[in-house]
């Protein structure tokens, strides 16, 4: 897939803000025969050029870290400050889905509008939330807060794929949740796809193995193929929680090693 001339070439940065311990059987449908550690990292993503700033997801704060047994390394707003970004600078946020670790600090951004799939709001407020299997990753206060923003005209709904700016588009993937969406970004190295939880780890989309928390297995598996088809190459797909992102991509600055990774440049290792 070739790049498209005339489009902006955005800087894309992964910001690591939290981590937790885990084991391989936790992360695959059907478990895994190798009962060894498989940590999970938590990121938010920044897309920007000289005229536009888009935040992808908002992460969580200490309350969720305590409740869900995670290690908060820095508040997402503090991670953004490391890049010189204040909450007042953030006017546009993509919420890939409404799980607690992707929308948990939405109220830290008082000026932002939020891009969300119709199907995600319907899923998070509908009959499937009567089942603990599907509802346990959501927080009622987060979902209710997003509903309140709807009534303030601060939620931009999408039904399927949509371009939100030249060189930035949203793609409904489904699978993990009914309204899961990925973000495609045009960069100097071509089209980068922020998979978020459409693929938690590289291993999920590379080997077509499904994460254990899944709404629709078929949509998840087909989604792996879609992620790759949208990207310049499989190496341009960025999973949502893989610690390998820190190892594979260069730091934004030496002082931010292990915190802020440049995804718009070639990886330093595969």
6 within a domain of the structure (yes/no): no
198 Rama class: left (phi>0) / alpha (psi -120 to 50) / beta: alpha
DSSP class of residue 64 equals H
Task: Please tell me the distance from the alpha carbon of residue 13 to that of residue 88, in angstroms, as a whole number.
Answer: 19
Whether 269 is covered by a domain: the verdict is no
192: left (phi over 0), alpha (psi -120 to 50) or beta: beta
- Residue 4 pLDDT more than 70? no
pLDDT digits (tens, 9 = 90+) for 90-118: 999 999 999 999 999 999 999 999 999 99
Query: Looking at the domain assignment, is residue 5 inside a domain?
Result: no
Say if residue 3's pLDDT is above 70. Answer: no
In a domain, 140, yes or no: yes
d(CA 191, CA 156): 24
User: Which CATH number covers residue 41?
Assistant: 3.60.15.10
Alpha-carbon gap, residue 34 to 15, rounded angstroms: 29
Residue 42 domain flag = yes
Residues in contact with 24: Cβ distance below 8 Å, sequence separation at least 6, in sequence order: 32, 34, 35, 36, 37, 38
Per-residue model confidence as pLDDT tens digits over 182-232: 999 999 999 999 999 999 999 999 999 999 999 999 999 999 999 999 999
**Residue 5 above 80 pLDDT?**
no
Structural domain count of the chain: 1
Considering the domain boundaries, does residue 267 fall inside one? Answer: no
Note down the domain range covering 233. Answer: 11-262
pLDDT 10s digits, 116-156? 999 999 999 999 999 999 999 999 999 999 999 999 999 99
In a domain, 70, yes or no: yes
Mean pLDDT of the chain: 96
* Residue 256 lies inside a defined structural domain of this protein: yes
């Amino acid at each position: 897939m070739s790049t498209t001339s005339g489009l902006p070439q955005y800087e894309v940065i992964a910001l690591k803000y939290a981590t937790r311990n885990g084991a391989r059987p936790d992360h695959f449908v059907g478990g895994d025969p190798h009962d060894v550690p498989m940590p999970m990292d938590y990121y938010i993503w920044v897309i920007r050029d000289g005229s536009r700033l888009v935040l992808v997801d908002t992460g969580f704060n200490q309350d969720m870290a305590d409740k869900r047994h995670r290690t908060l390394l820095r508040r997402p707003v503090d991670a953004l400050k490391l890049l010189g970004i204040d909450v007042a600078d953030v006017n546009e946020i993509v919420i890939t889905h409404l799980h607690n670790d992707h929308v948990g600090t939405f109220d830290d951004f008082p000026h932002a509008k939020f891009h969300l799939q119709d199907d995600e709001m319907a899923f998070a407020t509908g009959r499937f939330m009567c089942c603990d299997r599907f509802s346990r990753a959501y927080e009622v206060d987060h979902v209710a807060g997003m509903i309140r923003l709807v009534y303030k005209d601060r939620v931009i709904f999408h039904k399927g794929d949509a371009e939100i700016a030249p060189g930035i588009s949203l793609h409904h993937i489904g699978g993990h949740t009914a309204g899961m969406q990925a973000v495609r970004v045009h960069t100097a190295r071509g089209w980068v796809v922020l998979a978020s939880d459409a693929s938690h780890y590289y291993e999920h989309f590379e080997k077509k193995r499904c994460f254990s928390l899944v709404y629709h297995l078929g949509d998840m598996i087909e989604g792996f193929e879609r992620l790759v088809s949208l990207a310049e190459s499989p190496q341009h797909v960025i999973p949502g929680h893989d610690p390998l992102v820190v190892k594979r991509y260069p730091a934004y600055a030496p002082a931010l090693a292990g915190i802020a990774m440049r995804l718009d440049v070639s990886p330093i290792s595969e």
